[in-house]
Chain A
Amino acid sequence: MTTILDSRPDGVPAVMSSTPATTKVIIRMNDTDDSVAEAQPLVEVRRQTGGLRMIDLLSGAGAAVASLALTQLLVTQLAPINGPIPFFVIAYLLFVAIYALLVSLDESGPVVRDRIVRVIVHSLAFSLLVTLAFVVIFTFSRGVQALPHLNFFTQDMSLAGPLDPLSDGGVLHAIAGTLIQILIALAITIPLGLTTALFLSEVPGPFARLVRTIVEAMTALPSIVAGLFIYATFILILGLEKSGLAASLAISVMMLPIMIRASDVVLRLVPATLKEASIGLGAGQWRTVWNVILPTSRSGLTTAIILATARGIGETSPVLLTAGFTASLNLDPLHGPMISLPLAVFEFVKSPEPTMIARGFGTATVLMALVLLLFIVARVIGGQTLAVRERRRARLVALRRVFTISWLLRNPLAAKVAVGAAPADTGLDDPAPILEESE
């Protein structure tokens, strides 16, 4: 850069310079570069700051082989310990020790500690993820023998006994029960929960603080105690029978604090500038809530609701106390016991019969699939923030404009007709940059 400025004594800025001058400068620069290279042939090798070196791979592999061999020796010759798990534990401890020894041969103390921690952190994360994946796969693999039978999804257990094969009976009653119970619970918790969350964030004051504290306290309520409360009040005092409604109420008591807390966090994330802009434009509080706050936090609120739903669907203990047990399909939430998926799992695996246990695992798989589905829906909606959606819209508009322009270029006659509309169009349809800043 300095050469460019030096080469131009008249002080004309680089951008304004004419083409011949620039060419000349470039040639001169190339000349100087060549002469430097000839004078001192300096070849710089780029230093590698990350990634794996051969020695790391070798010390890791060596430590692994050595630890396995040593463990084999220990287990078979020196101390008879059987079972794969103790073998693995001993092998792992030996691996860490030998690896540290190998690294310490050519590295300093802090580097050795860094390597040991790296190995430990990796193995902790790996073992957790493997175990969690195994929990899921184990359930799925045990349930897979019940799943291919289509009757598993279309029949209930009223005509199938514990000894009947898997081609008889199914869990339709549990699926229907879960859906009915969660729908009633959502019908209670969504309006109440969202209103309360709006109250906490939009009508602040000492009373709102009190409500927030109590709601936070109630997130600590053990789910079985929520079930016990509904059991003692609705069933024992008010004399209702064990039913889907009672189960829904128990789930609602449990879900409500979770939903309020999550929605409150989401609503507080709405940028104050947006609210102030809306009020500054003369909108009232309700207008601001309806047109600014709710649309901005819609995806977050949906995520909060769906995650609370996933918790509510999976809870067994409140349902255990309030829903009763039945083997037949019951679509009436007011009368008669109504089973749900987690409760059905629990009841199935109480039986010693292999087919019933297979049914239990199959039901658990259905339950997990339901939770997974909810979770994916939550991710898809949660990933769509307002800014992303606006950007996508803006891109569509831009694309359409490009198409329109190319079309107009090909049809000069149409261009003459449309020429008045085009500028007005470009002026109006781009609110995206403003919203992106608020992201």
Chain B
Amino acid sequence: MTVDIPRKLVLRRDPVDRTFRGVARGGGIAVLTIMLLVGVFLAFRASQALSSDGVKFLTVQDWDPDSGKFGIAAVLVGTVLIALVAIVIAFPLATGTALYITEYAPRQIRQWLISLVDLMAAIPSVVYGLWGFFFLQGNITPISRWISQNFGWIPIFSVTGVDPNDPLPTSTLYTSSTFIAGIVVAFMITPIITAIMREVFAQAPLGEREGALALGSTQWGMIRSVVLPFGRGGMIGGTMLGLGRALGETIAVYMIISPVFVIQTHILQNGASSVSSLIALRYGEASPFGLSALMAAGLTLFVMTLVINFAASSIVARSRSGASS
């Protein structure tokens, strides 16, 4: 009686296949090298500035690297505030639009709306900057003034130098503020967030939707009990990706704000700051050491965006709507 011995499988690839795998691996290695080069170079140059500055880098507000007095406290707070204003405005807009497209819009215009939102996500940021600088700047002042006069007792809405009894307060107090930059960035990131949310909402299982409706729920009841819980991961993930974009936005912010190097927590007041506009402002006249300091600021921004993006993708991947988005 013969015993069947499993045949030994030997994978012998064609020369063509070996070449293909080699070339593909080479491409991967090249990209990895480029990416690591960027990261390592940034880290190396940044470390020169960081080692001389130490912890002060996070606490000092001024930016004067050549005299040794520099830190990102002011610009970092400014960046985060602009991004937060943007998210506070963009989140409800994006959620509403995504729900409208998936749940309420007539079937005939749905595809059209999806294309429109995708197209808006591709509009160059300089166009939003133009709109913010030439239109919004002049027309938002009444709202800024109204908020500051009625909610000025909340610290972030207060504007110093405002006389509540002055019927014609100067409007220059309210221009070039964190608030305006935040609004512009908000409209820039809303299409991106909307696109992600829409995709997740559209995947909400039909059976559960029909189940909710068959149990007698209204459309909003169905959305609240099926669509929103299903899409929660995508909502959070999409918003965080938008936040990442908002943190790194340069040109629209640079066009609007007038840079200050103190921690400016009054979001309605003239004067704001952000890391990326600091780089755009100071790179040209920077000494080699000043450039390392700018790199350190850029690296901080990069690390922040990186943490946010990874958190976002892990939240999206762990949610019920899954990694398909």
Contact = CB atoms under 8 A, between A and B. Distances in A.
Interface of A: 81-83, 85-86, 89, 110-111, 113-114, 117-118, 120-125, 127-129, 131-132, 134-136, 138-139, 142, 191-193, 195-196, 198-200, 202-203, 207-208, 210-211, 214-226, 228-229, 231-233, 236, 253, 256-257, 260, 284-287, 289, 307, 310-311, 313-317, 320-321, 342, 345-346, 349, 357, 360-361, 364, 367-368, 371-372, 374-375, 379
A228 B298 contact: yes
Interface stretch (B12-20, B52-60, B153-161, B260-268): B12-20
A310 B123 CA distance: 8
A286 B143 CA distance: 62
Contacts of A81: 142, 146
B32 A214 contact: yes
Interface in B63-119: 92-97, 99-101, 103-105, 113, 115-116, 118-119
B28 interface: yes
A301 to B, nearest CB: 15
A430 B70 CA distance: 71
A419 to B, nearest CB: 44
A375 B313 CA distance: 26
A311 B118 CA distance: 12
A86 B92 contact: no
B221 interface: yes
Nearest to A210: B32
Contacts of B280: 224, 317, 320-321
Given A195-B26, A228-B298, A364-B127, A203 B41 contact: no
Contact of A220 (B26, B127, B244, B288): B244
Nearest to A320: B280
Given A132-B187, A311-B122, A316-B125, A121 B17 contact: no
Contacts of B97: 124-125, 128-129
Interface string B242-270: 00100110110001000000000000000
B122 A371 contact: yes
B32 A211 contact: yes
A428 to B, nearest CB: 29
Nearest to A85: B143
Given A113-B220, A224-B248, A317-B276, 14 more contacts: A125-B99, A125-B104, A131-B187, A139-B131, A195-B24, A200-B28, A216-B313, A224-B276, A229-B41, A232-B41, A232-B45, A253-B34, A284-B17, A316-B125
A81 B94 CA distance: 29
B54 to A, nearest CB: 22
A364 B255 CA distance: 14
Given A233-B41, A257-B35, A371-B123, A222 B250 contact: yes
Nearest to A379: B115
B133 A124 contact: no
A314 B20 contact: no
Given A86-B143, A317-B250, A128 B190 contact: yes
Across chains A and B, which 8 residue pairs bring their CB atoms closest together, nearest first? A124-B96, A314-B124, A195-B27, A222-B248, A125-B100, A83-B142, A114-B218, A199-B24
Contacts of B122: 307, 310-311, 314, 371, 374-375
Contact of B24 (A86, A136, A202, A313): A202
Interface stretch (B1-9, B173-181, B231-239, B303-311): B303-311
Contacts of A208: 28
B283 interface: yes
A236 B291 contact: yes
Contacts of A129: 97, 113, 116
Contact of A121 (B96, B125, B127, B134): B96
B309 A85 contact: no
15 contacts: A110-B218, A120-B96, A132-B123, A195-B28, A200-B28, A202-B24, A216-B309, A221-B305, A223-B250, A224-B279, A285-B13, A285-B14, A286-B17, A307-B122, A346-B255
A271 to B, nearest CB: 15
Contacts of A375: 118-119, 122
A114 B302 contact: no
B31 A260 contact: yes
B35 A218 contact: yes
Contacts of B123: 132, 135-136, 314, 368, 371
B191 interface: yes
A198 B305 contact: no
Nearest to B21: A203
A316 B35 contact: no
B206 interface: no
B101 A224 contact: no
Nearest to B28: A199
Interface in B263-297: 276, 279-280, 283, 288, 291, 294-295
B130 interface: yes
A118 B251 contact: no
Nearest to A309: B122
B302 A222 contact: yes
Nearest to A226: B38
A313 B122 CA distance: 10
B249 to A, nearest CB: 8
Given A85-B143, A217-B310, A233-B41, A121 B100 contact: yes
Q: Which of B14, B24, B119 has the most CB of A within 10 A?
A: B24
Contact of B124 (A224, A321, A342): A342
B220 to A, nearest CB: 4
Given A111-B218, A315-B124, A371-B124, A211 B100 contact: no
Contacts of A192: 27, 30-31
